[in-house]
């Protein structure tokens, strides 16, 4: 074959690959069928190790996971029935949570218990058929999905008896993940912005994409018939892995004075350094998550005092300090409870500092229904490599015993605020307290 002919063929196939206009985002609804995608068990026969990792990750449970099922079937879908304006957004949940169902036009998909193909969630084929995204920035499932014989991957010229392969640089970039990890709701509010947070932070400048922390490379075989090589692990471990959450923030604390008179006061400084995340902490489903710092003092006779955080005086600070007021009143709309008063906003000790960004409905009340968010409050999360300082001014109580007084700080995390989890009967694991880290210091009290 002469070079000219070869060149034409290459040019033609490149043009073919990239010029076909494949609908994305909302426009992709119903443009494919389930049969365009292979089931993950087919891939398992040769890629068993990767399959077993994926099966244990949240990706394979993105449709079947209990809290997803509850939020989708008990809040989002009923909300779209009460108010049809929300129909596209409720269908759109599937664009990220079960892309095959969305692309096949199978919306609302059957419940997980019916064991339909929607259950496969974000599976091998979904991810390995993505070759780019449409528009300026990745968000709202604007990925370009092109399933077929060619599986896109990170390596050049691999041979497989089952399929062709093609190296696509895009797969190894953060914007690939951003197609599902950034989300704008119908009010044009960024209700999920993990990739955008990463872009603003230090890790993007150092070319450390999501993959380095969530799909780290290790020596192994990427299929049963491969040679050993560095292989991208399919862990996707995040907030649902207590080991990943452990130690995300390091805590050091010290008193303003070491020796304090019995009727004196001391200020405890607590520094919180986010050493581990590539984006803010918490990120992703920020409307659900709660991260809070509890500080106690224990005197030499074992009496325990709970310390409220010193106020800093910034706008919206009231949402960053544990309170027992009610919120989440808008859940009453899909639940068809017009007189619903809401449930407790935080469910944590009153006075504790919370690191969060509140989401508000149109009445200015906090919501966990991200699609119903009208405004975002002050962002008081801890950014990548950011250090926040909290202070606790404590007047030594007159009943405190002289001697050593210990101060202990505990940084706790919950995937879903407990009062909401309890009200919606979400299984306990979603509101279990996960320990992020602890810190301690002491003073000596003299008479
Ligand atoms: C019959 C065995 C077999 C089956 C079934 C199979 N693969 Fe592969 N696949 C391979 C082999 C072999 C390689 C090349 C591995 C190497 O050389 O390192 C490969 C490579 C890959 C790559 C890497 C491509 C690159 O460019 O880096 C991807 C992605 C991939 N397969 C995805 C899939 C998916 C998705 C499925 C299921 C729909 C699947 N494979 C089913 C054998 C198989
Ligand atoms: C959420 C998307 C996603 C899912 C789900 C997914 N992969 Fe991948 N896979 C990737 C990305 C991204 C890479 C490239 C990682 C990189 O470049 O750092 C990759 C890499 C690979 C590779 C090449 C690994 C290497 O480094 O040699 C194989 C093979 C593969 N995937 C197969 C599979 C199979 C089989 C499944 C299902 C059991 C699967 N993937 C599920 C996104 C995904
Ligand atoms: C096709 C959409 C899609 C793509 C592409 C995608 N994800 Fe996800 N990812 C999801 C969904 C949906 C979930 C939520 C699963 C759940 O909890 O329901 C998720 C969950 C996760 C989690 C687990 C979070 C937790 O709460 O434990 C991590 C980590 C993650 N993704 C990282 C990545 C990375 C890194 C990439 C790029 C290599 C990526 N994702 C690409 C859709 C996607
Ligand atoms: C420097 C390492 C690092 C990088 C880079 C990084 N992450 Fe993470 N990520 C973490 C750690 C640690 C956690 C666990 C703490 C948490 O939940 O935020 C995490 C958590 C997550 C979660 C779970 C959040 C939740 O509340 O459910 C998702 C989703 C996620 N990362 C996606 C991404 C995506 C997408 C990118 C790239 C745009 C990325 N990560 C880049 C370290 C990293
Ligand atoms: C643009 C993609 C996208 C869309 C659209 C989307 N999600 Fe998600 N969703 C995700 C990703 C990615 C995560 C994981 C982020 C994280 O770990 O915090 C997630 C997490 C969740 C969680 C928390 C899961 C857990 O176990 O903590 C629930 C519940 C959820 N989504 C429900 C919905 C519902 C209901 C809709 C539609 C109204 C929807 N999502 C629309 C991408 C999306």
If one residue of 279, 280, 286, 411 were mutated to test the ligand 4 pocket, choosing by the most ligand atoms within 8 A of its CB, it would be 279
Ligand 5 pocket, mutate which of 68, 242, 283 (most atoms under 8 A from CB): 68
For the Cβ of 269 lying below 6 angstroms from any atom of ligand 2, the answer is no
CA distances from 80 to 213, 373, 416 (A): 37, 15, 23
Nearest CA to ligand 1 atom 24: 153
Residue nearest to atom 27 of ligand 2 (CA): 231
Of 288, 330, 223, 291, the residue nearest 421 (C-alpha): 288
Does the C-beta of 414 come closer than 6 Å to ligand 5? Answer: no
Q: Is residue 45 part of a domain?
A: yes
What's residue 15's pLDDT? 41
The residue out of 232, 255, 284 marking a domain boundary is 232
Task: Clarify whether residues 424 and 345 are in a common domain.
Answer: yes
221 and 130 in a common domain:
yes
Q: What is the pLDDT along the chain (447 residues), one digit of tens a residue?
A: 444 544 444 444 444 455 468 999 999 999 999 999 999 999 999 999 999 999 999 999 999 999 999 999 999 999 999 999 999 999 999 999 999 999 999 999 999 999 999 999 999 999 999 999 999 999 999 999 999 999 999 999 999 999 999 999 999 999 999 999 999 999 999 999 999 999 999 999 999 999 999 999 999 999 999 999 999 999 999 999 999 999 999 999 999 999 999 989 999 999 999 999 999 999 999 999 999 999 999 999 999 999 999 999 999 999 999 999 999 999 999 999 999 999 999 999 999 999 999 999 999 999 999 999 999 999 999 999 999 999 999 999 999 999 999 999 999 999 999 999 999 999 999 999 999 999 999 999 998
Domains identified in the chain, total number: 2
**Are the C-beta atoms of residues 352 and 392 closer than 8 Å to each other?**
no
What's the pLDDT score for residue 447?
87
Residue 434 lies in a domain: yes
The answer to whether the CB of 236 is under 6 A from ligand 4 is no
26 C-alpha to ligand 3 centroid (Å): 19
127 Cβ below 6 A of ligand 2: yes
Shared domain check, 60 and 20: yes
Instruction: Spell out the residues 6+ positions from residue 136 whose beta carbon is closer than 8 angstroms to its own.
Output: none
Residues 13 and 146 in one domain: yes
**Looking at the domain assignment, is residue 398 inside a domain?**
yes
- Domain residue limits at 368: 242-446
Ligand nearest to the CA of 214: 3
Using most ligand atoms within 8 A of CB, pick from 69, 180, 193 the residue to mutate for ligand 3.
180
Residues contacting ligand 3 via CB (< 6 Å): 58-59, 62, 65, 68, 96-97, 99, 122, 126-127, 176-177, 179-181, 210-211, 214-215, 236, 238-240
Q: Does ligand 5 have an atom closer than 6 angstroms to the CB of 95?
A: yes
Check whether residue 208 and residue 305 sit in a common domain.
no
Which of 53, 62, 94 maximizes ligand 3 atoms within 8 Å of its Cβ, making it the mutation to test the pocket?
62
Asked whether residue 179 falls in the same domain as residue 203, the answer is yes
Q: What distance in angstroms lies between residue 443's CA and the mean position of ligand 2's atoms?
A: 53
Task: Give CA separation, 174 vs 178, 182, 211, in Å.
Answer: 6, 11, 8
Are residues 128 and 68 both part of a single domain? yes
Q: How does DSSP classify residue 294?
A: E
DSSP string, 1-40: --HHHHHHHHHHHHHHHHHS----GGGGTTSS-GGGS--H
Alpha-carbon distance 348 to 290, whole Å? 9
Residue 369: inside a domain: yes
**Within a domain: 237:** no
CATH assignment at residue 268: 2.60.40.3880
Give the ligand 5 atom nearest the CA of 58.
26
Same domain, yes or no: 195 and 273: no
Distance 286 CA to ligand 5 centre (A): 10
Residue 319 covered by a domain:
yes
Say if residues 437 and 250 touch (Cβ distance below 8 Å). Answer: yes
Q: How far away, in angstroms, is 153 Cα from ligand 2 center?
A: 7
pLDDT at 310: 98
Q: Residues 152, 282: one domain?
A: no
Of 213, 232, 251, the last residue of a domain is 232
* One domain for residues 256 and 399: yes
Is 273 a member of any domain? yes
- Closest ligand 3 atom to the C-alpha of 244? 27
Question: Residue with the nearest Cα to atom 32 of ligand 1?
Answer: 151
Do 223 and 363 reside in the same domain of the chain? Answer: no
Q: Among 209, 232, 255, where does a domain finish?
A: 232
Helix (H, G, I), strand (E, B) or coil at 265: strand
pLDDT for 20 equals 62
Q: What is the rounded CA–CA span in Å between residue 259 and residue 402?
A: 11
In a domain, residue 69? The reply is yes
Q: What are phi and psi of 107, to 5 degrees?
A: -125, 140
pTM (two decimals): 0.96
* Distance (Å) from CA 135 to ligand 5 centroid: 22
Assess whether 338 and 416 both reside in one domain: yes
Evaluate the omega torsion of the peptide bond into residue 72 and state whether it is cis, within 30 degrees of 0.
no
Nearest ligand by distance to the CA of 430: 5
For the CA of 141, the nearest atom of ligand 5: 1
Atom 3 of ligand 2, nearest CA residue: 127
């Amino acid at each position: 074959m002469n070079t000219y002919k070869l060149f034409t063929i290459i040019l033609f196939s490149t043009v073919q690959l990239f010029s076909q206009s494949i609908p994305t985002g909302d426009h992709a609804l119903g443009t494919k069928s389930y049969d365009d995608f292979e089931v993950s068990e087919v891939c398992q026969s040769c890629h068993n190790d990767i399959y077993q990792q994926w099966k244990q990750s949240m990706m394979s449970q993105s449709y079947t996971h209990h809290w997803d099922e509850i939020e989708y079937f008990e809040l989002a879908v009923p909300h779209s029935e009460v108010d049809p304006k929300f129909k596209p957004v409720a269908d759109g949940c599937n664009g990220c949570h079960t892309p095959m169902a969305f692309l096949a036009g199978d919306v609302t998909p059957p419940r997980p218990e019916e064991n339909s193909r929607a259950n496969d969630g974000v599976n091998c084929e979904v991810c390995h058929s993505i070759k780019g995204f449409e528009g300026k920035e990745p968000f709202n499932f604007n990925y370009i999905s092109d399933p077929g014989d060619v599986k896109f991957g990170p390596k050049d010229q691999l041979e497989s008896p089952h399929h062709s392969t093609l190296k696509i640089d895009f797969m190894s970039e953060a914007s690939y993940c951003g197609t599902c990890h950034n989300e704008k709701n119908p009010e044009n509010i960024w209700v999920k912005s993990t990739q955008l947070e990463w872009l603003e932070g230090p890790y993007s400048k150092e070319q450390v994409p999501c993959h380095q922390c969530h799909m780290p490379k290790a020596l192994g075989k990427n299929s049963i018939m491969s040679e050993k090589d560095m292989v991208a692990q399919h862990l996707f471990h995040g907030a649902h892995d207590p080991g990943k959450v452990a130690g995300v923030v390091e805590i050091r604390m010290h008193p303003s004075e070491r020796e304090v008179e019995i009727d004196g006061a001391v200020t405890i400084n607590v520094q919180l350094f986010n050493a581990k995340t590539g984006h803010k902490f918490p990120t992703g489903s920020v409307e659900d998550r709660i991260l809070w710092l509890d500080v106690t003092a224990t005197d030499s006779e074992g009496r325990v005092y709970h310390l409220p955080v010193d106020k800093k005086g910034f706008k919206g600070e009231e949402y960053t300090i544990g309170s027992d007021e009610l919120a989440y009143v808008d859940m009453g709309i899909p639940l068809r409870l017009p007189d619903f008063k809401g449930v407790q906003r935080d469910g944590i000790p009153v006075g504790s500092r919370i690191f969060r960004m509140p989401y508000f409905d149109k009445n200015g009340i906090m919501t966990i229904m991200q699609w119903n968010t009208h405004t975002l409050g002050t962002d008081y999360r801890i950014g990548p490599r950011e250090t926040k300082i909290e202070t606790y001014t404590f007047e030594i109580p007159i009943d405190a015993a002289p001697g050593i007084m210990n101060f202990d700080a505990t940084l706790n995390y919950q995937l879903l605020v407990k009062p909401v989890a309890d009200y919606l009967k979400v299984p306990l694991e979603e509101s279990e307290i996960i320990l992020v880290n602890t810190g301690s210091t002491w003073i000596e009290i003299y008479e």
